[in-house]
Chain A
Amino acid sequence: MDNEKEQQSMSDFLGDTFSRALRNALSTMTGFTVEKTVVPEEQLNHTIAGAMMLIGSKSMFLVVSTNDVTAQTLISYMTGIDPSDLSQGDLQDGITEFANMVAGSTREALVNTEYEYSLTVPFTIVGEHIRFLTKSRIEKYHQLYHNDEVQILLQIFSF
């Protein structure tokens, strides 16, 4: 399945709701506005991901991933701490907390819809070239949000 088809396979409503939550969290916490585009995951070297299972009648797996440079930029904006003083632990915690906020905001927007879900605890995934591979029956929403300073990949796997 190519990226355009992946993008179209999930409900526009659901994708738009997650998208709004991510953009709102980003602009509220850092002031950044971002464009969105579809970029194959293999072209990105993302090293930190915050992930959560979202359990409902339609369960989902949410992943927000980025690279170290973006994580440093975002967390520095949010905390006022110089990027060079941030530890890997700070970056991992920050991206995971960001994913938690996106999931929490989206949950609120989806109450009383067919997509309503409960949150689970967030996980942090680290490593070089993080990629998520799935079985063919899993629907995938995949968007890169970016500007000149940051890039964040939002992926939702629905099953």
Chain B
Amino acid sequence: MIKKVLIVDDSPMIHNMLRKTLESNGYEVCADAKNGKEGVELFQSLKPDLVFMDITMPVMDGLEAAKRIKEMDASSRVIMLTAMGDDEIIAQAGAIGVDIFLKKPFNDFKIVSAISRME
């Protein structure tokens, strides 16, 4: 069952949007990370049930961060949420083991439906 969610995105607006959607649907946002490196570190310490991951971020991008999280814990659940929706990137995310690939823009329904598909 998914309860604790980690958000990894360099945009405060995306953090706030996701937090609003997740908390109003009964999920707990356990932490916000501003880049992939922070995301990997917070994943290791907090062991969230689910990670929302952007791709284009400073320090470490989301594909590399997702790869490290999957190497750490193959059963981890990662939803990639990005404006970069081309086939090559989707294929790279799939090869890493990203569970669901969502494209921005998004709304509450898109987010909640994606989580439901993983439960």
Contacts and interface: CB of A to CB of B under 8 A. Distances in A.
Interface of A: 24-25, 28-29, 75, 78-81, 89-90, 93-94, 96-97, 100-101, 103-105, 107-108, 111, 119, 121
A117 B20 CA distance: 33
Contacts of A93: 11-13
Contacts of A100: 83, 104
B3 interface: no
A81 B16 contact: yes
B12 A104 contact: no
B76 to A, nearest CB: 25
Interface in B35-65: 56
B77 to A, nearest CB: 24
Contacts of B17: 29, 78-79
A103 B56 CA distance: 14
A101 B104 contact: yes
B59 to A, nearest CB: 13
Interface in B11-39: 11-14, 16-17, 20
Contact of A97 (B14, B86, B87): B14
Given A90-B12, A121-B56, A101 B105 contact: yes
23 contacts: A24-B105, A25-B104, A28-B106, A29-B17, A29-B106, A75-B13, A78-B13, A81-B16, A90-B13, A93-B11, A93-B13, A97-B11, A97-B13, A101-B83, A101-B104, A104-B82, A104-B84, A104-B85, A104-B104, A107-B84, A108-B85, A108-B86, A119-B84
Contacts of A105: 83, 85, 103-105
Give the 4 A-B CB pairs with smallest separation, nearest first: A104-B83, A79-B16, A28-B105, A94-B13
A28 B107 contact: yes
Nearest to B11: A97
B84 A79 contact: no
Given A79-B20, A80-B20, A108 B13 contact: no
Contacts of B104: 25, 100-101, 104-105
